[in-house]
Amino acid sequence: MLAPSHIQRLIERARQFSALAFEAASKADELAAIDPNLWSEFHRSGLAMAAFPEALDGAGLCESSHQADLCTVLRLLGAGDLSIARLFEGHVNAISLVTRYGTKTQLRSLAAAVARGALSAVWGADDAAGLKIRGEAYPSVLEGRKILASGAGLVTRPLVTAEGSSGQLMCLLKLAAEHPADLSQWQAQGMRSTATGTVELTGVVITAEEMIGDAGDFMRQPFFSGGAWRFCAAQLGAVECLVDLFRGHLVARGRAQDPYQLQRVARCAASARTARFWVEEAARRFSAQEEDDDATVAFANLTRTVVERSALDVMEIVQRGVGLSSFIRPNPIERIARDLATYLRQPVPDRAMSDAARAVLDSPLPIGEFC
Ligand SMILES: Cc1cc2nc3c(=O)[nH]c(=O)nc-3n(C[C@H](O)[C@H](O)[C@H](O)COP(=O)(O)OP(=O)(O)OC[C@H]3O[C@@H](n4cnc5c(N)ncnc54)[C@H](O)[C@@H]3O)c2cc1C
């Protein structure tokens, strides 16, 4: 395990990088692209390697003992630029999947690629046809495409899900830097610089070395749903940033003592802190891998609902408290609210909520002791 001072330095570098990302975010939003110099800084800061174990020159952020630190880093990046936080979250998710289900050789190969400047991601979303692996033996070939793939055109080592004869499999691809990506459909309200697009993969040859784990591993619980705390942490960073900007606005405009604004500040502070308690606890439970996997999943699902509610409330309160200027560029509140509203749209929120409700109903425990 890394010395606390080493982790503290990483968090300090994440804080500095977040400040740079915040400065660059307006331009990135306008151009729908993150400045390559910022990516260089990202690699220099140690963040790209941070999720790998220490033995591979990382900081072990994927390890159980460092989930609280990962939570802090995700919050910091979410406060700087939510698009970068999203890309970082995907990168970390891919590394943790390879750590959990892959071989040492596969993890070493990914670490070497990232050390040379590559980024990873998890591309799971499919169109109606889905991505398929043709044939029973390797080398084999992919047929289909991935949609809603963040970092399309930028990520060269994505982990993609694909349907094989034995079920859903994971392939850690090696894409050429010039592999085509279609970003034409990404005319989103927010998260514009995530480069979220369609990547055609028909004809890509995959070898046995690129196959990670066994069929069904990708959605194995409690990791699949329990890991939702990570995107919640990134969203929380943006929520906290909105509250800070609101406070700064009120103080700068001499409006902070108005009783209605005081009420708004109190509601925002309480709401953001409530979300933080939930996210940090979800991260703790995920790392503790408590015996009751269902409870870990239920807690993460409830965390999604709490963070979504907090974000929606804070956005509304801040926009009403600041007024029209919060809708006018280049006020960062305008961009952050667009990004957050977009990034809150995560898969099947109704099912996350209703699964959690069913887990509560099925539990014999008093509600105070549930999950
Ligand atoms: C910025 C950004 C980056 C992304 N990057 C990636 C990426 O890199 N890789 C990746 O794989 N994905 C990525 N995604 C996609 C993401 O993981 C989700 O798949 C997507 O955001 C969910 O979209 P949705 O709101 O349409 O979800 P849906 O799940 O379709 O939900 C829409 C609504 O329909 C409801 N609903 C869902 N299913 C049903 C049903 N069967 N019957 C009735 N109601 C239903 C939901 O509860 C919700 O109310 C990204 C998304 C964003 C916003």
Q: What is the pLDDT of residues 315-367, one digit of tens each?
A: 999 999 999 999 999 999 999 999 999 999 999 999 999 999 999 999 999 99
pLDDT by residue (tens digit) across 63-88? 999 999 999 999 999 999 999 999 99
Ligand 1 in contact with 342 (CB < 6 A)?
A: yes
**pLDDT number for residue 299:** 96
Q: How far apart are CA 322 and CA 304, in angstroms?
A: 27
Residue 217 lies in a domain: no
Average pLDDT over residues 213-234: 97
Same domain, 228 and 262: yes
> Is the pLDDT at 223 greater than 80, yes or no?
yes
Per-residue pLDDT, 252: 98
pLDDT at 5: 75
pLDDT of residue 303: 98
Same domain, 230 and 352: yes
Q: Cα of 343 to ligand 1 centre, how many Å? A: 10
Amino acid 4: pLDDT: 66
CB of 313 within 8 A of CB of 261?
no
Range of the domain at 85: 4-212
The answer to whether position 268 is within a domain reads yes
- Residue 34 in domain: yes
Are residues 306 and 202 part of one domain?
no
Atom of ligand 1 nearest to the CA of 151: 8
Q: What's the Cα-to-Cα distance from 71 to each of 44, 121, 233, 281, rounded to whole Å?
A: 20, 18, 6, 10
Does 42 contact ligand 1 (Cβ within 6 A)?
A: no
For residue 150, the domain's CATH number is 1.10.540.10
Which of 130-139, 288-297, 305-314, 340-349 has the weakest average pLDDT?
288-297
Which of 212, 231, 258 represents a domain boundary (last residue)?
212
CA of 345 to the centre of ligand 1 (A): 6
How confident is the model over 162-198, as pLDDT tens digits? 999 999 999 999 999 999 999 999 999 999 999 999 9
* CB-based contact 302:356 (threshold 8 Å): yes
Q: Does residue 103 sit within a domain? A: yes
Residue 197 pairs with which residues in a beta bridge?
Answer: 149
Q: How confident is the model at residue 110 (pLDDT cuts 50, 70, 90)?
A: very high
Q: Are 43 and 111 in contact (CB under 8 A)?
A: no
Residue 123 pLDDT more than 80?
yes
- How many domains is the chain partitioned into structurally? 2
**C-alpha 148 to ligand 1 mean position (Å):** 9
Give dist(CA 156, CA 170) in Å, integer: 15
Same domain, 175 and 60: yes
Distance 295 CA to ligand 1 centre (A): 23
Shared domain for 138 and 283, answered yes or no, is no
Q: Are residues 231 and 203 in the same domain?
A: no
Q: Are residues 24 and 107 in the same domain?
A: yes
Final residue of a domain: which of 154, 189, 212? Answer: 212
CB of 167 closer than 6 angstroms to any ligand 1 atom: no
| Cα separation, 185 vs 280, whole angstroms | 35
Q: Say yes or no: 52 and 144 in one domain.
A: yes
Atom of ligand 1 nearest to the CA of 351: 47
Residues 194 and 162 placed together within one structural domain of the fold: yes
Is any atom of ligand 1 closer than 6 Å to the C-beta of 191? yes
Q: Answer yes or no: are the C-beta atoms of 247 and 262 closer than 8 Å.
A: no
pLDDT of residue 6: 86
Distances (CA, A) of 260 to 59, 150, 209, 356: 45, 40, 61, 35
CA torsion, points 357, 363, 366, 367, in degrees to nearest 10? -20
Q: Which of 168, 8, 195, 208 is nearest to 83 (CA)?
A: 195
Is residue 119 a part of any domain in this protein?
Answer: yes
- Pocket flag, ligand 1, residue 125 (CB < 6 Å): yes
Q: What percent of the chain has pLDDT over 90?
A: 94
186: its two tokens: 């990404």
Ligand 1 proximity of 121 Cβ (cutoff 6 Å): yes
Closest residue by Cα to atom 2, ligand 1, is 343
Nearest atom within ligand 1 for CA of residue 146 = 11
Is the overall model pTM greater than 0.85, yes or no?
yes
- Last residue of a domain, which of 154, 178, 212? 212
CA of 230 relative to ligand 1 center, distance in Å: 16
Same domain, yes or no: 17 and 112: yes
Ligand 1 atom, smallest distance to 352 CA: 47
The whole-chain average pLDDT of the chain stands at 96
CATH number of the domain where residue 272 is located: 1.20.140.10
Q: Quick one: which H or E segment has residue 149?
A: strand 145-149
Same domain, 112 and 232: no
pLDDT over 90 at 307, yes or no? yes
Q: Tell me the one-letter amino acid at 149.
A: A
- The runs of H, that is alpha helices, within the chain are 4-31, 36-44, 67-80, 82-101, 104-115, 223-226, 229-252, 259-288, 293-322, 332-343, 349-362
229 and 206 within one domain: no
Report the percent of the chain where pLDDT is more than 70. 98
